[in-house]
Every structure is written in C-alpha cells, then in structure tokens.
Amino acid sequence: MALVIISTLLFYYRLTVRTKNEEMESKMGQIRELSDEIRAKDNSLFALNKEVGSKDSQLAELSGAIKNSNEHLQELRDSMVQMSRGRFDVINNLCEEYFSRRNAPEKTRLSLYGKVEEQIMNMRSERALCELEQSLNMVYDGIMDKLRVSFPHMKEADRLFLMLTFAGFSSKTISVLCDINLGNYYNKRSRLRAKIEESDSPYRDLLLSAI
C-alpha cells in the first residue's frame, strides 16, 4: 500500500512541478515586462521633472501609473513565492510519510527509505541546489545574493539550511536533507534567526520575512 501511495505521489510531484514551472515562466515574463515598463516610466518621469509647471498634471498621472505598476509587480512576486513553495509539497509529504512510518515493518521502511533517498539525492545535487538558488533570487529579489553579502563568512551548512527554509521546505524535509534531527533543526533555526535579527544588514527585514 505504501508503495502505491509513494508512486502516486511521485507521479503527481512530476506533473505538479512541470505545471508550476510553466506557470512560473509565464509570471517571470510578466515581471520582466513590468520591470521594463517601470524603468521606461521612471525615465519619462525624470525628463518631465525638468519641465515647467504646465506638466504638473502629467507628472501626477505618471506617478500614479508607476505606483500601480509597482503594486502589480509586488502582487506578482507574492504569487511567485507561493507557487515556488508549492513545487515542493510532494517531497514534503514524502518526508512526512517517512517520519510517520519509522515503526512500520522493516520491508515497508526500507522501500519507503529508498524512495525518499532518491528524492534527497536529486535535491542535494549541485545542479538542483544551483537552480534552487537562482529561483529564490528571482522570486525573493536577490535574497541569496543578499544573504552572502550580509554574512560572507557564514558556514555553507547554515547557508544551505536557510536556503531550504526560504524555499518553503518543511522542518522534517530540511532535517532529512541536512542530515540533522528535529531537535537540532529547531535549535539551528532559532540561532540563525537571532543572528540575522542582531545584525546590521540592510537586508535584515527581507531575510527575516522569508524564514
């Protein structure tokens, strides 16, 4: 029964990821178009600022358009965050199943462990981690680049932990991917959050909002 559930979850996972990726590509295209539009309007606003009072009404209209575009851009980014995190629902559920069946018969546990291990190895690959970092930078306004700038000497293990947290992986999934127990997970999360809170990083609020 567990194997049927796992196979169904994996099939659904692949289908969901493909659909989510297509939706994200569409959203990214809209974001790029809006960003270009905002830059063009900013340039127009700068030129208009050099002109005299007869342009006041045009300035007000252009400022309102820029504000609306920025609000729309933020809405798209918020939507991208939710979609990005939703891509990992299946692997989160798989790890939940793994933890819940620790006392199951050995045959079931070994079979389940094999499926979980396959996903873990895929997720731990250099390519997968690189793609995840790029995706987070796109969705979260360069959050991983800003983490590196803010904490250049942070341990790679801590940086990986935060990247998985930013991406929306569950506590159990992060524990499995980072090879730590749940107690250590909560201790590390609290320690890293305190480290960010006590820092003078100009990106502190952004980093904290993603934890």
Q: For residue range 82-127, what is the model confidence (pLDDT) as tens digits?
A: 555 556 776 777 777 776 666 556 555 556 566 666 766 677 778 8
pLDDT at 182: 85
Q: Supply the pTM of this predicted model.
A: 0.59
pLDDT at 16: 67
pLDDT at 132: 86
pLDDT at 38: 76
pLDDT at 82: 57
* pLDDT at 155 > cutoff 90: yes
**8 A C-beta contact, residue 169 and residue 92:** yes
pLDDT at 177: 84
Secondary structure (DSSP) of the chain: -HHHHHHHHHHHHHHHHHHHHHHHHHHHHHHHHHHHHHHHHHHHHHHHTTS-GGGHHHHHHHHHHHHHHHHHHHHHHHHHHHHHHHTTHHHHHHHHHHHHTTTS-HHHHHHHHHHHHHHHHHHHSHHHHHHHHHHHHHHTTSHHHHHHHH-TT--HHHHHHHHHHHHT--HHHHHHHHT--HHHHHHHHHHHHHHHHTS--TTHHHHHHT-
Residues 21-46: what's their mean pLDDT? 74
Average pLDDT, the chain: 76
Please report, to the nearest 10 degrees, the dihedral formed by the alpha carbons of residues 138, 142, 144, 145 taken in order.
130
* pLDDT at 8 > cutoff 70: no
Higher pLDDT, 147 or 34: 147
- Minimal CA–CA distance to 118: which of 103, 128, 105, 107? 128
Residues 25-39: what's their mean pLDDT? 75
